[in-house]
Amino acid sequence: MSDIISTKLVKTRKPHRCFFCAELYSSGTIMRSTTYKDGKELYREHICNVCGEYIQRYWHYGDECGYGEIKANDIEVWENIKQELNEKRNKIEVL
């Protein structure tokens, strides 16, 4: 199991792929940047809002997955969350 060193929301300065869905997001996107240690190695990954919401809803302590697996393994639920978040954002923009 990995140890999380830090996690924070960032506005990206260059394009990044979300670790959990493998979608490419353009620069200027708000993503969660997480730095973690696995053994002696340090890693950093970026997580999109859709995958972050998926993790909040469906993951339990100790759950793990590899690169792109959230979307690949549960695309229907992932797409539904993406649609919900887009609708929510659109309502906020109208106000």
pLDDT, one tens digit per residue, over 84-93 is 999 988 877 6
Number of H helices, E strands in the chain: 3, 5
**How far is the C-alpha of 59 from the C-alpha of 62, rounded, in Å?**
8
How deeply is 4 buried, as exposed, middle or buried, from its count of CB atoms within 10 A (0-12, 13-18, 19+)? exposed
Strand locations in the chain (E): 3-11, 16-17, 24-25, 30-38, 41-47
Across the chain, mean pLDDT equals 90
pLDDT for the residue 1: 64
| Domain 3-94, CATH among 3.30.70, 3.30.1740, 1.10.10, 3.40.50 | 3.30.1740
Its pTM stands at 0.83
Give 43-93 pLDDT, tens digit per residue. Answer: 899 999 999 999 999 998 888 889 999 999 999 999 999 999 999 888 776
pLDDT for the residue 55: 93
Residue 33's identity, in one-letter code, is S
